[in-house]
Amino acid sequence: MSLSVSLPAAPLAIQPGEKFTYRLAWGPFRKAASLQIEADIDPDSTANYTRITSHTATEGIIRALYRFDGWGEFLYDPAAGRLMRAEAWTETASKETKATMTLDYEQMKARYEDHLRPARSLELDIPQAQAFDFLTTLMQTRSWDIGLGEEFAVPVYFDDELYDLVIRVEKRTQIKTPLGRRDALLIVPHMPEEPKGMFEDGGEIRVWISDDELRLPLKFEVRMPVGTAMALLIEHVPAHDAQFAQSDAGSPPAHE
């Protein structure tokens, strides 16, 4: 097994104009929900920040039983590859959530504000290593120059916490997708100490990235005690700049 390494800065995995649409399945329900992730230049920013937005919504019979909508908006400085601000909110028939995290790199502090439950608001230290929100971290694997069998550590923001994930490139494989049969790399993130959230009670996440120059995130699979959820890429709209800079991807430092 290779040693764990921390990755240096890499270009953002999602470029302005790029859009990913996923179909989500859960148990016997093949069309339980949809997920859209897209990026553009933030119109409210004077620094040409990249704005990544996501929207998850239940569909069909699942929506009739459980209405859920979840949104995320993440501002990144593309030059430094740094998360500047994150906002997430959800709505169900009986509950709402809304929270914002603002990062101050001069003070190296991140302010988490829960708009509906102010008592949960707090301040976090920003790590020296580059950190992303959880969803962007999974997408960001496409921009890292990583090899089969390697594993590496990356800090991740999830709700009001910051924790380290260790991500391992398990194997090369071939999978069937709505876009056709594709060669892929299987990437598995895990939390080695005090598993939390979806990693509790044996929860597992697996990500399949196309084994080509585009490194498209083709499939996500989340295994939990209540069942397995799966997201399949059904549509990809390329970035405005058609050349995704794979040659500029970050590379792990040499092992000592």
For 90-142, write each residue's pLDDT tens digit.
Answer: 999 999 999 999 999 999 999 999 999 999 999 989 887 777 777 787 777 77
Q: Which of 49-58, 80-89, 140-149 has the lowest mean pLDDT?
A: 140-149
Distance CA 103, CA 107 (A): 9
pLDDT at residue 246 in the model: 35
Q: How many structural domains does the chain have?
A: 1
Tell me what the mean pLDDT of segment 17-35 comes to.
92
pLDDT at residue 2 in the model: 34
214 within a domain of the structure (yes/no): yes
254 within a domain of the structure (yes/no): no
* pLDDT at 29 > cutoff 50: yes
Q: If we measure between CA atoms, which residue out of 236, 225, 2, 7 comes closest to residue 137?
A: 7
Considering 41-45, 153-157, 163-167, 245-249, the range whose residues carry the highest mean pLDDT is 41-45
SS3 of 141, please? helix
217 within a domain of the structure (yes/no): yes
Instruction: Give me the chain's average pLDDT, please.
Output: 83
SS3 of 156, please? strand
181 within a domain of the structure (yes/no): yes
Tell me what the mean pLDDT of segment 75-79 comes to.
87
Give me the torsion for CA of 191, 192, 194, 199, rounded to 10°: 30
Q: Dig out the tokens for 226 from the structure.
A: 């209540």
Check: CB of residue 199 under 8 Å from CB of residue 191: yes
* pLDDT at 231 > cutoff 90: yes
Percentage of residues of the chain with pLDDT beyond 70: 88
Q: Dig out the tokens for 78 from the structure.
A: 């593309």
Task: Report which of residues 78 and 6 the model is more confident about.
Answer: 78
Condensed to tens digits (0 to 9), the pLDDT of residues 172-230 reads: 999 998 888 999 999 998 887 777 667 777 778 899 999 888 889 999 998 877 778 89
Residue 24: give the domain boundaries: 5-245
Task: Say how far residue 119 (Cα) sits from the centre of its chain.
Answer: 27
Check: CB of residue 216 under 8 Å from CB of residue 231: no
CATH of the domain at 89: 2.40.360
88 within a domain of the structure (yes/no): yes
Q: Which residue has the tokens 């016997």?
A: 28
When pLDDT is cut at 50, 70 and 90, the band that residue 69 belongs to is very high
255 within a domain of the structure (yes/no): no
Q: If we measure between CA atoms, which residue out of 111, 101, 92 comes closest to residue 132?
A: 101
Check: CB of residue 184 under 8 Å from CB of residue 197: no
pLDDT at residue 197 in the model: 67
| Contacts with 60 (C-beta within 8 Å, 6 or more apart), sequence order | 29, 31, 32
Q: Where are the beta strands (DSSP E) in the chain?
A: 5-6, 19-26, 29-41, 50-58, 68-77, 82-92, 96-104, 109-114, 122-125, 132-133, 151-158, 161-177, 180-190, 204-210, 217-224, 227-237
Distances (CA, A) of 35 to 24, 48, 57, 135, 226: 7, 25, 7, 11, 20
Distance CA 209, CA 153 (A): 18
131 within a domain of the structure (yes/no): yes
